């Protein structure tokens, strides 16, 4: 399976470009860390890959079936959602079933397994809005895993998580890679960036460096 590729991408909001002339290759079946300072365009680039931000110019090629899971940045999630953790994770199956179809036995098994992996099983019947920030984040990562997408995008999935939960996220990224998925995650943690197979460094909406984490960090250290 091929990876994703951005070629000469310009994209932004309301006519203002955030990403400018971005060329990037996201290798298939590998974990890519997206690093760069606040406001450098990481979430925007993930939005382009998730097709929630439409490029003004340039081309974007997505891998495989084009099925994409996007775990958005924590700050972008409303805390007033009237859904339970189990329902949230089950939404991850909509791309397979359609929102109106009952879950199959396999869907339910995947939902249960993903809740287990992110340690939210005990919270299954709690409403998302009444969880702590870290608990909610784990539920959202579990939903992303439940999608079983070819391309899995996670926007700072470990931000604000305790050590144990960070290890869970790390293990989940490993499992995705082992399963041949293509993963891109934004991070401010140099250690997480160093663990990736590939690293993409953004600065002011442009690609400042890309390559192995060591080579990319040699150009601009992750912040
Ligand atoms: N919905 C939006 N509408 C208008 N401008 C936006 C929107 N989202 C982001 N921007 C602008 O785009 C630029 C890049 O933001 P983006 O969220 O992509 O950065 P980031 O690298 O993810 O930052 P952070 O590390 O803080 O998450 C910023 O200048 C920001 O103000
Ligand atoms: Mg961001």
- Res. 12: pLDDT tops 90: yes
**Which protein residues touch ligand 1 with a CB less than 6 Å away?**
13, 18, 36, 38-44, 73
Q: Are residues 55 and 101 in the same domain?
A: no
The domain of 146 spans 65-178
Q: pTM here?
A: 0.94
Do 171 and 69 fall into the same domain?
A: yes
Find the CATH number of the domain harbouring 213. Answer: 3.40.50.300
The ligand 1 atom at the shortest distance from the C-alpha of residue 75 is 27
Residue 188 domain-assigned (yes or no):
no
Task: Evaluate whether 155 touches 186 at the Cβ level (below 8 Å).
Answer: yes
Task: Find all residues with CB under 8 Å of 95, minimum gap 6, and list them.
Answer: 67, 147, 149
In a domain, 207, yes or no: yes
**Do residues 24 and 106 share a domain?**
no
Q: Is residue 107 pLDDT above 60, yes or no?
A: yes
Band the pLDDT of 222: cuts 50, 70, 90.
Answer: very low
Q: Does 2 score more than 80 pLDDT?
A: no
With 80 as the cut, is the pLDDT of residue 83 above it? yes
Q: What is the pLDDT of residues 151-170, one digit of tens each?
A: 999 999 999 899 999 999 99
- The pLDDT of 7-14, averaged and rounded, is 96
Tell me the pLDDT tens digit for each residue of 169-218: 999 999 999 999 999 999 999 999 999 999 999 999 999 999 999 888 66
Neighbours of ion ligand 2 (CB under 5 A): 42-43, 73
- Same structural domain, 101 and 145: yes
Average pLDDT over residues 137-154: 95
Which 3-state string (H, E, C) describes 90-155? HHCCHHHHCCCCCCCHHHHHHHHHHHHHCCCHHHCCCEHHHCCHHHHHHHHHHHHHHCCCCEEEEE
Report how far ligand 2's centroid is from the alpha carbon of 110 (Å): 28
CA of 70 to the centre of ligand 1 (A): 16
Weakest mean pLDDT among 48-52, 111-115, 210-214? 210-214
């Amino acid at each position: 399976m091929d990876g994703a590729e951005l070629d000469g991408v310009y994209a932004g909001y309301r006519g203002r470009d955030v990403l400018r002339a971005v060329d990037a290759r996201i290798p298939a079946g590998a974990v890519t860390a997206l690093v760069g300072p606040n406001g450098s365009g990481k979430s925007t680039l993930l939005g382009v890959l998730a097709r929630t931000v439409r490029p003004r110019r340039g081309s974007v090629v997505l891998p495989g079936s084009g099925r994409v899971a996007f775990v958005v940045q924590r700050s972008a999630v409303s805390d007033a959602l009237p859904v339970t953790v189990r329902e949230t994770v089950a939404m991850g199956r909509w791309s397979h079933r359609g929102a109106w179809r009952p879950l199959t036995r396999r869907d339910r098994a995947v939902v249960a397994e993903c809740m287990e992996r992110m340690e939210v099983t005990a919270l299954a019947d709690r409403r998302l809005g009444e969880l702590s920030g870290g608990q909610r984040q784990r539920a959202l990562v579990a939903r992303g895993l439940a999608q079983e997408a070819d391309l899995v995008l996670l926007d700072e999935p470990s931000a604000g998580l305790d050590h144990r939960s960070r290890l869970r996220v790390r293990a989940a990224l490993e499992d995705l890679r082992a399963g041949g998925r293509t993963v891109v995650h934004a991070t401010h943690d140099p250690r997480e960036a160093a663990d990736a197979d590939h690293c993409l460094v953004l600065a002011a909406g442009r690609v400042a460096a890309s390559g192995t984490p060591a080579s990319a960090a040699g150009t601009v250290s992750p912040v």
